[in-house]
Structure 1
């Protein structure tokens, strides 16, 4: 089987060879061991507690679309999940013009407590079987099904006696395999584990810190929401939110992030006050304010904006978890616009977990998964910024287009009234 990686420039556009045509790098995988080793490079991160399916096309076994979902904890959900993910991957490939000739399945889950990797493999075997049946019902065979657990892998499809040891086969140490060298040469990057990436986008602190932040959000909601819903003061709130967000971005930019994920996040968290963060989080619940913030997706604005959106998402604690949809979607948008599609997909998925009806996240998640070039949206945002800024009366003000209806009475009502504009 082969996987093609199309290298991209920092702008996110495909890099080209001397002839001007994109130059994909091809990596050939010949065994279950190489498939297992290749999975993090195909996704861009180490999947944890994940069901991953990869479409395979043609006689040479070219990899196509891929899909990742969490493994349902309830066994009663396995059959429906298997059917849904199989249909999603196959139908999605057909929409792009090429039905898969086969599918490779990965079940990734580390042992819990005293459980062994072998026990995990045995426990997940019924799920693997349901996936094989669901794919077969769509006339697409499962070519290989692997369980990855505790640093080892097992094949569910191997029927040769004595081929696969009961205790599993050790995975290669990270970065030491031929696949790792080839992937590095091809420009494929692994950005840590799924758990680590999600941890940078979700509240992790408890105790007094979370209580103080939730209290600040309550004060901000009491002060700002009535003004956002009032057409006479909505523009004023927008100006204040944008100005404060830019102030926080400058503060983050002047303080270089510490080395490492969690350590860097702790540094950024310490630079934001509870009331400051709450004011921006509440302001971003307005669609127009959020759309202006989405313009900070490139050049020197992108890095501090991403740090700010991550920090704000981590502060959507307690009863304000749904409010994380806005900063999570903005974090996903900046990541996608900067060429980091794996992190973007994770951020969009978390945004939809916070608010399944959040239309902006729905649209960007779909576009990212379909491989649409974000440059079209970037250009629209540039043009809107150029149109709006010369007419602004003061820095950070929000100007509404003529004919926009007055703000509805509640956030849910506002979402329904705005429809596909969210």
Structure 2
């Protein structure tokens, strides 16, 4: 059996490393494994951690038995679930591998569980023997023989397939000392690091201890009373902004914290930097999809590492009745880990998110994409585009508002202008704007200017009223000048013009109307009144 530079297959499941892990890239030199002891030693390097309470399946491809797909699942809780679980595991690995064109020539099984209190490794091996046999039968039904099945418990391994006591003692064989095998040397050369056990990785995401949980749950209750009504009402946008601002301040605080040695000490430091009310407010705010999606943009650069620590700390604060709320920070922790290239930790976090809320779509999609071997760069690019669009919209809006404030002007809504120029009125103008007077009898846009009593020509405004200040000329200007732009006629109510068959109002000629100050407007000469053809 040979571990070569095979890419991660798209059907790798749960906690298998992916294309960003050196163990499955071309950086790892070819390593040939020749014994059950070397197989047991290679398992943590293939997964990136020591599996606990797990069943692991490795598919072998081709004549040389190269490692292909790999799958990990937690051991079923009850023996009644074993038959169905074995059938599903075999079908998931073997059938899907063949559907993608892989030639499966064999399967290797690992059963990993430490002894419970009052139990030893030998008893663990015997207890799991029926499970191993059922899984071997399920693989055999699909024409994929199990070449080796190992039980690893308490630093010792047993083989369910090898009857030779010289290599596989019935009493168990101790594992190779860490760092002394050829696989360990190749992993060190490739820069692969084993992150400890699966139990240790999950402990970093588990809720706080019972002694600290009541105070945090009380803070969550208070935050729910304050935020939930606003999140469901008209203040949702304000809550989003406040949540993201608070999270950014905490990120800055995390980034400035002094480094400490050890993962446990680092988690204790982060818990001390995060106040209970801050954690409660951010946790509640992340339940909003828009807020969560914007927080997912902290996936790279100097913000990524503090963001990952913050999401872990928030997941530990989801206690008591708020356990399901951990799905959001756990999914974000999985996304940032995946974006940073740490697929084992990403899959552990995403699995915990689905454990907290199996219907959480965000975690489902990320978990599937991670297992399918999709490059996270595609998702990162989408988030970058969304962030740039939102930043550009905000910058443009701020620039326009700033320029209008500098000019003391504001746009007019609902008034459409004729021509190519736009008219922006002055904010401080009072009353209707006056147009330059024109000589009587002059034609403007096909209409003759009417003459007012006293010889003055009526202004050429076609639709002016008390609120129409769309002209650029200043009040009181006089004298000849260029023709101003004539705004589109605004529609008036039905009672503003004479109905057909009725006598015109006293003091007006038929078809006439009066403008500001009682002045006559120019009479209409027929034709459509507006773009809708009303006359």
Q: 1:334 maps to what in 2?
A: 336
Q: CA deviation at 1:366?
A: 0.8
**Aligned partners of 1:74, 1:159: CA distance in 2, in Å?**
28
TM-score (structure 2 length as normaliser):
0.69
Match of residue 312, structure 1, among 270, 291, 314 = 314
Q: 1:33 maps to what in 2?
A: 37
Contact 1:348 1:365 in 2 (8 A): yes
SS in 2 for 1:388: helix
User: Using a 3 Å threshold, how does the CA distance of structure 1 residues 113 and 23 change in structure 2: closer, same or farther?
Assistant: closer
SS in 2 for 1:167: coil
Task: Indicate yes or no: 2:142 matched with 1:138.
Answer: yes
Q: CA deviation at 1:224?
A: 1.3
Contact 2:27 2:190 in 1 (8 A): no
1:17-28 matches, within 5 Å, as 25-28=29-32
Q: 2:254 maps to what in 1?
A: 252
**Aligned partners of 1:137, 1:272: CA distance in 2, in Å?**
54
SS in 1 for 2:123: helix
Contact 2:6 2:67 in 1 (8 A): no
Match of residue 222, structure 1, among 217, 221, 225 = 225
* Structure with bigger gyration radius: 2
1:75-154 matches, within 5 Å, as 75-154=79-158
Q: 2:53 maps to what in 1?
A: 49
SS in 1 for 2:157: strand
User: Using a 3 Å threshold, how does the CA distance of structure 1 residues 144 and 13 change in structure 2: closer, same or farther?
Assistant: closer
Cα displacement string for residues 241-289 of structure 1 (whole angstroms, at most 9, x for unaligned residues): 1000111111111003321111110110011011100100111111111
Q: CA deviation at 1:159?
A: 2.8
CA-atom RMSD in angstroms: 2.0
Q: 1:348 maps to what in 2?
A: 350
TM-score (structure 1 length as normaliser):
0.87
SS in 2 for 1:159: coil
Q: More displaced, 123-132 or 110-119?
A: 110-119
Q: 1:418 maps to what in 2?
A: none
SS in 1 for 2:29: strand
Contact 2:97 2:104 in 1 (8 A): yes
**Aligned partners of 2:328, 2:103: CA distance in 1, in Å?**
35
Number of matched pairs: 384
**Aligned partners of 2:236, 2:46: CA distance in 1, in Å?**
45
Q: 1:378 maps to what in 2?
A: 380
Cα displacement string for residues 219-246 of structure 1 (whole angstroms, at most 9, x for unaligned residues): 111211222222x211111100100011
Contact 1:4 1:27 in 2 (8 A): yes
User: Using a 3 Å threshold, how does the CA distance of structure 1 residues 169 and 348 change in structure 2: closer, same or farther?
Assistant: same
Q: 1:4 maps to what in 2?
A: 4
Q: CA deviation at 1:348?
A: 0.6
**Aligned partners of 1:342, 1:58: CA distance in 2, in Å?**
26
Task: Indicate yes or no: 2:78 matched with 1:74.
Answer: yes
Q: CA deviation at 1:6?
A: 7.0
Cα displacement string for residues 22-48 of structure 1 (whole angstroms, at most 9, x for unaligned residues): 655322111110100000000000001
Cα displacement string for residues 291-335 of structure 1 (whole angstroms, at most 9, x for unaligned residues): 001110111011000000000001110111111011001000110
Contact 1:7 1:24 in 2 (8 A): no
Cα displacement string for residues 375-404 of structure 1 (whole angstroms, at most 9, x for unaligned residues): 10000001100000233389xxxxxxxxxx
**Aligned partners of 2:194, 2:382: CA distance in 1, in Å?**
31
**Aligned partners of 2:384, 2:353: CA distance in 1, in Å?**
24
SS in 1 for 2:31: strand
SS in 1 for 2:207: coil
Q: 2:359 maps to what in 1?
A: 357
**Aligned partners of 1:310, 1:163: CA distance in 2, in Å?**
43
**Aligned partners of 1:233, 1:362: CA distance in 2, in Å?**
29
SS in 1 for 2:30: strand
SS in 2 for 1:201: coil
Q: CA deviation at 1:95?
A: 4.1
SS in 2 for 1:279: helix
**Unaligned segments of structure 2, at least 5 residues:** 9-18, 397-535
Contact 1:297 1:334 in 2 (8 A): yes
Q: CA deviation at 1:67?
A: 0.9
Q: More displaced, 184-193 or 106-115?
A: 184-193
Contact 1:103 1:140 in 2 (8 A): yes
**Aligned partners of 2:109, 2:21: CA distance in 1, in Å?**
28
Q: More displaced, 268-277 or 252-261?
A: 252-261
Q: CA deviation at 1:173?
A: 2.1
User: Using a 3 Å threshold, how does the CA distance of structure 1 residues 94 and 220 change in structure 2: closer, same or farther?
Assistant: farther
Q: Which has the higher contact order (CA 8 A, sep 6+)?
A: 1
Q: CA deviation at 1:162?
A: 5.7
Q: CA deviation at 1:4?
A: 3.0
**Aligned partners of 1:175, 1:30: CA distance in 2, in Å?**
17
**Aligned partners of 2:103, 2:226: CA distance in 1, in Å?**
54
**Aligned partners of 1:322, 1:161: CA distance in 2, in Å?**
50
SS in 2 for 1:25: coil
